[in-house]
Structure 1
Amino acid sequence: MEKKQEKQEKPEEAVRRPLYLYDLPAEVLNSLSLKADAGSPEQLSEQLSPETTPTQLQSPGPATPDSSFVGSQACSLCSLTFVTVQEQRDHLKTDLHHYNLKQKLNDLNPVTESQFEKLVGDLDESLSGSDTSGSEDEEGDGTSRKDTTLSALLKKQATLADRQRNPGNEAGEKSSKNPRGTGKPPLLWFSSPTLPDKTYYGVYRAIFTPEELAREDVIVEAIKQRQLAPILMPKPPKDVSSVPPAYNGRHIFLCMIGGGHFAAMVVSLAPKQSKHASTGPMNREAIVLAHKTFHRYTTRRKQGGSQSANDNAKGTAHSAGSSLRRYNEQALVEDVRELLRDWKALIDTSDLLFIRATGTTNRRTLFGPYDGQVMRGNDPRMRGFPFSTRRATQNELMRSFIELTRLKVKELTVAVPLPIATEDTTTKQKAPVKPGVPKLSEEEETALHHTTQIQALIRRSKLPALLAYLKTSSLDPNTFRFYPSDSQQNHHAPTALHLAAAQNSAPLVAGLLARGGADPTLRNDEAKTPFEIAGDRATRDAFRVARAELGEAAWDWEEAAVPPALKREEAEKRAERERKEKEKEEKERWRVEEEKLKREGPKVKTSTARAGAAGGILGGGVPRSAQEKREEEARGLTPEQRMRLDRERRARAAEERMRKLQGGG
């Protein structure tokens, strides 16, 4: 019955589910119309809709810090929340956070993530955050990405401010400089009757050709021409080292290079139909035709920039580390160019080429010139990523592909014009204008309160208290979704059962299924059921045990992706058997070690027996291990001296490896 009712879709349902640009439902495709003033975002203020696509990672809220974002895993300055402490630490290294710090130092309001992306939308290259470590993701132009991005953005703002103060110099500056950026927002907005009032679909401009963008009347028709039916295609082989076969279908090429990291991917634009296709486009999967990643040690840790950039600026260094970095830079260039030659057939037939290569060295690696050059910098298919990107990895490329090809859903309202700041001719100071702080509605405040309480109980594994809270608050675990739905945590785990599975809490999963009536077939914004995001076998066994105890008629367990039922006794026996096997293996290992020690005894070399203080037989001790020798050498040194000693050890090891590679050792 539920599947039949999905045909008559409510506006809220159209906002909730993700939509793939190249395979849109007929009711959405036939109702699209380009919004008036779609290219004039300065007249609009954006607010995230209650339900948005999974690629919308920015958090709603005011531009000023809000107390609701204060916590152990939140940034009150940028109004963002995080799932893990590591994500919070990574955020502190991003350009957005450093920019807001400078805003606060200048007594200005911080900006949201979407506002920050607009500020840098017309810069030359897309920005790069940090996937794991900021020190390793530095580009080869002699400066770190953080300094490059902030310097470029602040310089641009200073130039615009100077133009406003001196309008006469604007013509001269335009004649001397020809900025590549168009200054237009990265998204085009479309209206549709399937959406709630004042809510619109967004599509990235980079998807369209310049000819299509020049004529607004053909934009909708261009989207219709891009529709592709799902295809059945086997999964690509895990070993992608060989040359990928030719592909006649439409596809795009994505590539990122920087800081010694390289990642490339070719993705088919036609989606793959999954086995749960009846629920709609949410279960359409991307087909990766080829992918490859490289990493070489090329950047100077804690100092910024590549070795070649440092050599050009300060002269050739002669340390072992510098030699190793030069060797790795050349090896990375050869690896990348060889891969491009192997993928030439796929690259030449790609619809679009999305490239991120900041810095002279990285651009020269891709665009040469060199013999057998595959890509050229003036290719009309080439695009930059119109949003912030992180370290070059396969996961980041897939995230970028999803971001580019999913329709965004936002609520756009006409912004109230702010009063013009007056200038005092005597003091030359402008009166600051602070925007008002939007307030949450009563329903939103209630949903936020319930979300905070339920998530706290789940993290502390308080099953009785959780069930009691759901009952006293009259909350259905199947209909209540965490608020705000667009935050990164709630996007991955929108329900109590999803969060319990993500926390690997088997008792909570069992209790919510057996006593709370939780529905295991519900899917998150990534089209995954609670079972599919469970991280350990104990949690997955809780779903199988619930299937056995609740019965096959309780839920559609196949739709929930839960394997066959498992009796509780069998699960407990298997867990006990595995525990005993581990104990037996540990006891056997200890027995073998003890027998070996009794049989062989402490062996020492002849040279170690010359001095008792060295730990030999004369000293009544055992020979020291390499780790003990290193600890003795570092004993009494300051932290700086220990770091210097450790670098010297690694340099000697690198020199030894270089001699072996060159046949000299």
Structure 2
Amino acid sequence: MSDPHEDLLRRPLYVYDLPPNVLDTLTVKPDDEAASCAVNEDDTSPSARDVGHSASSDGINNLVGSQSCSLCAQTFATLEDQRSHQKSDLHRYNLKQKLRGLRPVSEVEFEKLIGDLDESLSGSDSDDSEDDEDDDSTAGKHDSTLAALLRRQARLADKAGGGGGGGSSDDGDPSPNPRTRGKPPILWFSSPLLPEKHYFGMYRAILTGEEQRRNDLVETLRTKQLEPISIPKPAKDGSMPEVAYTGPHIFLCMIGGGHFAAMVVSLAPRPGKGGATTMNREATVLAHKTFHRYTTRRKQGGSQSANDNAKGNAHSAGSGLRRYNEQALVQDVRNLLEDWKGLIDTSELLFIRATGATNRRTLFGPYDGQVLRHNDTRLRGFPFSTRRATQNELMRSFIELTRLKVREIDPAKEPPKDAGKPPSTTAAKSTGQQPAKPKFTEEEETALLHTSQLQAFIRRSKLPALLSYLRNNSLSPDFEFQPPEQNHHGPRPLHLAASQNSAPLVLGLLTRAGADPTIRNNEGKAAFELAGDRATRDAFRVARSELGEEKWSWDTGASVPAPMTKAEADSRDERERKEASEKEAERRRAEEERLRAAEEPAVVESKNKAKARANALAAGLIKTPQERREEEARGMTPEMRMRLERERRARAAEARLKKMQGGGG
């Protein structure tokens, strides 16, 4: 038989339809331990366990390797994702934090830091602009968000008379009505049905202001239980039945980066077979709509209006299209809100994510006939990290909001608070021990940082930047990448450059940086043996020629063949290119000769036919049109000849008219 405790931990518990045995045994957690743990945890941690999704800022336990960033505590599925991250504002901000001796911030903290920046300064709705197009902006301007954030922190530091802190801040709270700021986002309840040190959690945001002010939260939870309601489908004209307006429901909305999604969901559970109720992904959606308009500038970040406000109007086809789409999106969203006014006005709560001044103006105006208002007490922000505005994301957020969490909270297992490390966002499992978080010394952290930077330079073939980084940080050209077990194939810069077939990097590391080609990797291979093309192998031979035989043990240690000068390599390449060009020219000549030979019989035959026709005309075997007309008119009276000529001319005119009409059609 299965353990009832385990069954309870696995069941999805809907806040508005809890089993009686759970509801009758709930008590508010008597101490503040759970609250303090909830405050220290990232807001996204509940969703990791209950929804099965990891939020975009998942902490990944500081994993490191060739496709990870130890500085920002993130891993990546592909190399392209890692390269994109290294260009992001979050990574650059954390690098500046490291140089200042401050701790790096997580993605959620960084979003909060930039959340309250005016779009005219930041020019970025960064979490939604990755798949929009932009062709009229120059490179290097995509760090406007980072620059605006640093300027803002510098101003705050000047006012405070101290350093610009890099920690988390509530200034960027995207919630339009953050009435619970400073309070833990989750309320915790204990129950004898749960194992020891396990608790039920419910988001505070799903309670109204009056319900939060009550002393008896358990009784409040009992009053929120709803009977199943079967809501008919909308009418053919799209109108909702009256029960949809009177039944309890909430409004959810997200807007950012040209993406808009809105949904009205009934809170009442769906009646199932045999009187049972279900509430997983079968929530009753009363209305839903999504829009997408091309409004953000790819790689540059931010909307077109923000760029215009900061730098003046750009004059290009792309900028004009984005300006038009911004206005169209505003009109579409406001028209939709007007159509849903009845459902919005009767909603119990309004969950809205609208980051940036432009998006907030789209929803909250002011404008004539506006539906949403800043001072509405029903307004809430999502108390966890959300992704791009889509219908699926709204449904995921609804399920996350309305599902009772089950979590083990043991203060003895909580790691000590360390201001120098980014907060963990991994949810503790309800059963089993949380794996220990690896700890690194300052030297190890620095080595991991150097590893990520050097590998990025090598993969992008940035030789000047690589040499400058080695020189500025006093690093050896034979720096060993960390951790060694994850870089066994290319443990050093020369090995990685050779495996990437980057001939300029190989030659620069050998001749300008002084890298040692005799060092072998864990597989016993020298850097030369990892080269995959002749150009890279030639770079080793050219370096041997320039450095001389006494510099390294080229034959036995580095396995490099005979030396070759740069001029010899270039001469051979030029000779081979010339030979290939001559072979291609010879092939084309042969092909032209073949085609000419194939055309000659047809040309000869055509000439023969023309010659035979000319001979026949000369011999009188073929009559000309004039001769045929004269033969037809022979023996006719003048009147008959005139009539025949008129008929010929009429037929010729009709033929010309038909031809003209056919050509015009």
The two structures have a TM-score, normalised by structure 2, of 0.49
Rg comparison, structure with higher value: 2
The two structures have a TM-score, normalised by structure 1, of 0.49
